[in-house]
Structure 1
């Protein structure tokens, strides 16, 4: 009886270890995940900077109002993108 219990425990632990190995993310998967997060954050930020610079160039004189506001908007959009992506894929 004791031998049978030991075998069940070993089999159960073996299955747990196999499941843990299948669930582990590889270095490549982690790198791709981090790259996706970076792109989701940086793209709206740069888009806001270029849009703001273009809008500032349309007006008279030298201002940075649109640039700063669009960068802040891009920052907010990037943070929301990263948050939604992590919630969905983590």
Structure 2
């Protein structure tokens, strides 16, 4: 009798875990929002770095792309770190 109760309790616990996992499974909308967020945290630093670099190059005498390229590369690095940390925190 004791084994039957224990077996019944184990089965009930497994059913509860399965139902909980089914409720917490991500749906299409949440996955789409997550992918969109990943895209934004990657692209925004790149665009910001390129824009800031272009602005700095425009106020410097003479034409140079030094700031644009440097800050574009820095934006790529920052964007990659943002994506990495966002994935790690999920």
Q: Is the shorter-chain TM-score for this pair beyond 0.5, marking a shared fold?
A: yes
The answer to whether structure 1 residue 64 and structure 2 residue 75 are counterparts is: no
* Residue correspondences, number: 89
- Aligned partner of 2:43 in structure 1 is 42
SS in 1 for 2:57: helix
- Aligned partner of 1:77 in structure 2 is 78
* TM-score, structure 1 as length reference: 0.81
SS in 2 for 1:38: helix
Shift of 1:66: 0.7
Equivalent-residue separation in structure 1 for 2:74 and 2:24 (angstroms): 37
Equivalent-residue separation in structure 2 for 1:85 and 1:5 (angstroms): 42
Unaligned runs of 5+ in 2: none
- Aligned partner of 1:18 in structure 2 is 19
Equivalent-residue separation in structure 2 for 1:63 and 1:38 (angstroms): 30
Q: Structure 1 stretch 2-11 or stretch 65-74: which is displaced more?
A: 2-11
* TM-score, structure 2 as length reference: 0.81
Query: What is the aligned-residue RMSD (CA, Å)?
Result: 1.9
